[in-house]
A and B are shown apart, each in its own frame.
Chain A
């Protein structure tokens, strides 16, 4: 929306001069507000670094990258926390991606209009459910079921966390993937149908591949949502910092990076080693979310460029 080229009114009198001053002032304020997001990202990064980097000096690296997290006795091994986050996130991805994509394909391509009008707001409800409510349901309803079903000592396991995180990631995946499918030009579908493809062949061989980058973005952001989720995993994964060694780990309690910060930050002394290590974990989370978002937006950007090339 570029209005630079439209000439402004000519200054005629004092009133006009005054409004010119107001205009300049307001432009300056709005410009400053425009940059606020950049300022905040830099501030967040700076504060995490200033509180967290000290940990690298205070805790020997071989302790930091060990398998034992037991802060009371000075064991600050973050490997179990990283492995816990990975385990739960991979589980959630395996669960959420097929369901999310199938739902998106159904809503965007298959469902009749009236169904779409019902499904979309309902999925929006899920996006709005506070994570603490899902965690509560996990404790009350899901964990006891899992315990019985798999005959476990406790239902509060990585599996419970994976399922709930998957549920949390689904709305993100559905809405972005659906947008991507919607954005595929109608002519693509018409062409496929005209040469005799069935509706399903059109979806599977034409629409979905054409929306590929958007779908990948949806998956990336869904994963990003799952890695960063805190309350739900803290409530349902049983909070045991153990390094996952095999597939059986999914049936055992675990502990993610986010849950560790949330569970322990309230009890540490400011400026202590433990405090610094928790901020260090925060830095890791920040960098992961940065990477996920940069990859996701790079995918969108690349495809836009390709589309421009084709069209020009």
Chain B
């Protein structure tokens, strides 16, 4: 079918209008979700809500134990996943030969990132809670979340390491540096902002996850804060699930307030990651 140039411009204008409409609606919709939660939840936020224990079947009081719990779980995940993920990324970027085995590692990483979060929960239950007898605990839940976070950290850290120009390595080695010295003193510091961004984005996902911690460490309600790694803990995402589906007569204010705190926690991490990224980009000289 031959179209005149006028018709072709008409088709283009229609298509462009449709694409920009769909894209704009998507973006507006996302902003609306955030605004909705903020405006509905802001009324619930008070000193008491953040810093006190829940009471009256969680229908009154605050959500302190859920906030603290998510903080602990995120910290535990970081402690386990960051060293391991960074090590794996260094291996892939600096050591791994281009062979079949390396290809298998990459396939494994892709697959880890695709496994549904609830399957991680099953695995954590089978291995950490039951087989290793850690019980439902902060430790078991952090380990489960760490394995889930690992592929994100490995791939973003590897990418950051690979952006460091090869000439930096060549110079360091030609000056007599060993391979590890080159990595530790030259490559890692240069790649650090990129690595941090990836780590935070990975942890952001871990902080918001519910399914992997449901059977491995999250508690419906606990009257006191956890005191050791082997205690179970309340957590923000699981708490939001509980109070929006499992507790009848739950005041909607508390539900929105909890959603807002979780959102701030997660988007705050997102924001920190973006700031690190844009600062590093501005400072970079190569």
- Contact residues in A for B116 (Cβ distance below 8 Å): 227-230, 258, 285-286, 289
A-B contact pairs, 5 of them (CB 8 A): A8-B179, A36-B84, A126-B33, A133-B259, A265-B121
Complex CA–CA separation, A270 to B262 (angstroms): 32
Count of interface residues, chain B, beta-carbon cutoff 8 Å: 100
Known: A1-B166, A36-B88, A228-B114. A130 touches B37 (CB 8 A): no
B244 and A265 contacting across the interface, CB-CB below 8 Å: no
Query: Which of A30, A125, A132, A199 makes the CB contact (< 8 A) with B34?
Result: A125
Q: How does the 8 Å CB contact mask read for A193-205 relative to B, with 1 for contact and 0 for none?
A: 0000011110110
Query: Which of B26, B117, B169, B259 makes the CB contact (< 8 A) with A99?
Result: B26
- Contact residues in A for B36 (Cβ distance below 8 Å): 137, 141
In the complex, what's the smallest C-beta–C-beta distance from B100 to chain A, in angstroms? 12
Complex CA–CA separation, A50 to B122 (angstroms): 12
- Secondary structure of the B contact surface, majority rule: helix
The verdict on A149 contacting chain B, using a C-beta distance below 8 Å, is no
> A-B pairs with CB below 8 Å: how many?
280
- Contact residues in B for A37 (Cβ distance below 8 Å): 88, 105, 108-109, 112, 150-151, 154
B22 and A103 contacting across the interface, CB-CB below 8 Å: yes
- Contact residues in A for B34 (Cβ distance below 8 Å): 125
Complex CA–CA separation, A27 to B33 (angstroms): 48
Query: Which of B29, B37, B178, B210 makes the CB contact (< 8 A) with A23?
Result: B178
Q: How does the 8 Å CB contact mask read for A82-125 relative to B, with 1 for contact and 0 for none?
A: 00000000000000001100110111001100000011011111
Chain B residue nearest in CB terms to A103: B23
Known: A111-B23, A136-B259. A231 touches B12 (CB 8 A): no
Which residues of A does B touch, CB under 8 Å?
1-4, 6, 8-9, 19-20, 22-23, 26-27, 29-38, 40-41, 43-44, 47-48, 50-51, 98-99, 102-103, 105-107, 110-111, 118-119, 121-126, 128-137, 139-141, 167, 170, 198-201, 203-204, 221, 224, 227-231, 235, 258, 261-262, 265-266, 270, 278-279, 282, 285-286, 289-290, 292-294, 297
Complex CA–CA separation, A254 to B23 (angstroms): 30
A262 and B88 contacting across the interface, CB-CB below 8 Å: no
Query: Which of A36, A167, A289, A297 makes the CB contact (< 8 A) with B150?
Result: A36
Q: How does the 8 Å CB contact mask read for B73-96 relative to A, with 1 for contact and 0 for none?
A: 000000000011001101111111
The verdict on B233 contacting chain A, using a C-beta distance below 8 Å, is no
Closest 10 CB pairs of A and B: A228-B116, A34-B91, A130-B208, A33-B87, A200-B12, A106-B23, A102-B22, A230-B211, A230-B118, A37-B108
A132 and B26 contacting across the interface, CB-CB below 8 Å: no
A285 and B240 contacting across the interface, CB-CB below 8 Å: no
The verdict on B18 contacting chain A, using a C-beta distance below 8 Å, is yes
B26 and A279 contacting across the interface, CB-CB below 8 Å: no
The verdict on B130 contacting chain A, using a C-beta distance below 8 Å, is yes
Complex CA–CA separation, A107 to B255 (angstroms): 35
Complex CA–CA separation, A123 to B27 (angstroms): 7
A285 and B119 contacting across the interface, CB-CB below 8 Å: yes
Query: Which of A6, A50, A110, A203 makes the CB contact (< 8 A) with B173?
Result: A6
Complex CA–CA separation, A131 to B117 (angstroms): 11
Complex CA–CA separation, A221 to B38 (angstroms): 31
Query: Which of A204, A258, A297 makes the CB contact (< 8 A) with B118?
Result: A258
- Contact residues in B for A27 (Cβ distance below 8 Å): 95, 179-180
Complex CA–CA separation, A23 to B178 (angstroms): 8
A105 and B122 contacting across the interface, CB-CB below 8 Å: no
- Secondary structure of the A contact surface, majority rule: helix
In the complex, what's the smallest C-beta–C-beta distance from A225 to chain B, in angstroms? 8
- Contact residues in B for A235 (Cβ distance below 8 Å): 241, 244-245
B122 and A48 contacting across the interface, CB-CB below 8 Å: yes
Known: A36-B84, A133-B37. A31 touches B95 (CB 8 A): yes
- Contact residues in A for B178 (Cβ distance below 8 Å): 8-9, 19-20, 23
In the complex, what's the smallest C-beta–C-beta distance from B131 to chain A, in angstroms? 8
B118 and A136 contacting across the interface, CB-CB below 8 Å: no
Complex CA–CA separation, A7 to B251 (angstroms): 69
A228 and B154 contacting across the interface, CB-CB below 8 Å: no
A282 and B122 contacting across the interface, CB-CB below 8 Å: yes
Query: Which of B115, B125, B150, B151 makes the CB contact (< 8 A) with A265?
Result: B125
B115 and A132 contacting across the interface, CB-CB below 8 Å: no
Candidate in B16, B108, B118, B125 with the most chain A CB atoms within 10 angstroms: B118
B88 and A33 contacting across the interface, CB-CB below 8 Å: yes
The verdict on B230 contacting chain A, using a C-beta distance below 8 Å, is no
Complex CA–CA separation, A214 to B125 (angstroms): 36
The verdict on B43 contacting chain A, using a C-beta distance below 8 Å, is no
Complex CA–CA separation, A139 to B247 (angstroms): 14
- Contact residues in A for B118 (Cβ distance below 8 Å): 228, 230, 258, 261-262, 282, 285
The verdict on B42 contacting chain A, using a C-beta distance below 8 Å, is no
Binding-face segment, B45-53, B221-229, B266-274: B266-274
Q: How does the 8 Å CB contact mask read for B17-40 relative to A, with 1 for contact and 0 for none?
A: 011101100110111011011000
Chain A residue nearest in CB terms to B26: A103
B22 and A199 contacting across the interface, CB-CB below 8 Å: no
- Contact residues in B for A201 (Cβ distance below 8 Å): 8, 12
In the complex, what's the smallest C-beta–C-beta distance from A149 to chain B, in angstroms? 17
B8 and A198 contacting across the interface, CB-CB below 8 Å: yes
Complex CA–CA separation, A231 to B263 (angstroms): 16
B111 and A289 contacting across the interface, CB-CB below 8 Å: yes
The verdict on B104 contacting chain A, using a C-beta distance below 8 Å, is yes
A200 and B16 contacting across the interface, CB-CB below 8 Å: yes
